[in-house]
Amino acid sequence: TLTLHDALPISDKFLEATIRDGRADTGMPPFAHLGRSKVKAIVAYLRSHSMLPDRSAEVDAQSDARGDPRFGKQWYDNICSTCHGVKGDGYLAGGTGTAIGKIGFLSKVSDGFIRTTIKEGRSNTRMLGFSGAAGLANLSDQEIDDIIVYLRSLAKN
């Protein structure tokens, strides 16, 4: 699904890091042995098969989240923890979603990527959108930023 709509807001940096380092909380193994040039070639190949424009620069250029982690925790506990686990451990804690509260994920993604994912969801996954009239919770921009700030605080603990 990386050549579909969901890859468009994902930065090349994130894709390269995921291919190189893998994702411990998923079935994605590391491919560091391929070396930097081959990893970059894989990302270029994925981009070349997209039917839509690459939105990653626009998404990553969004401002850093500014919010209140206390409010973010309330929203997270009520909405996100169902799939991603109480502390963002995801699959590692028996959840159905990825480990979004772990440094391995948070160090590779921008606040814009997290914001866009919360708003729009991810097709072909269980991650649904939570903003706008069609969103499951119709979260405001501030509420989403509160969640992002809370997630970032999890990685520090």
d(CA 78, CA 4): 30
Options 1.10.760.10, 1.10.150.120, 3.40.50.720, 3.40.1190.20; CATH for 69-156 is: 1.10.760.10
pLDDT tens digit string along 13-58?
888 888 999 877 667 899 999 999 999 999 888 878 776 677 777 7
Burial of 92 (0-12, 13-18, 19+ CB in 10 A): middle
d(CA 41, CA 97): 29
Task: Name the H helices within the chain.
Answer: 12-21, 36-48, 56-60, 69-75, 81-84, 103-106, 111-120, 141-156
pLDDT of 118 > 90? The answer is yes
> 48: Cβ–Cβ under 8 A, 6 or more apart, which residues?
none
pLDDT tens digit string along 46-71?
878 776 677 777 777 788 999 999 99
**When comparing pLDDT for 120 and 5, which is higher?**
120
For the chain, give every domain's residue range: 5-59, 69-156
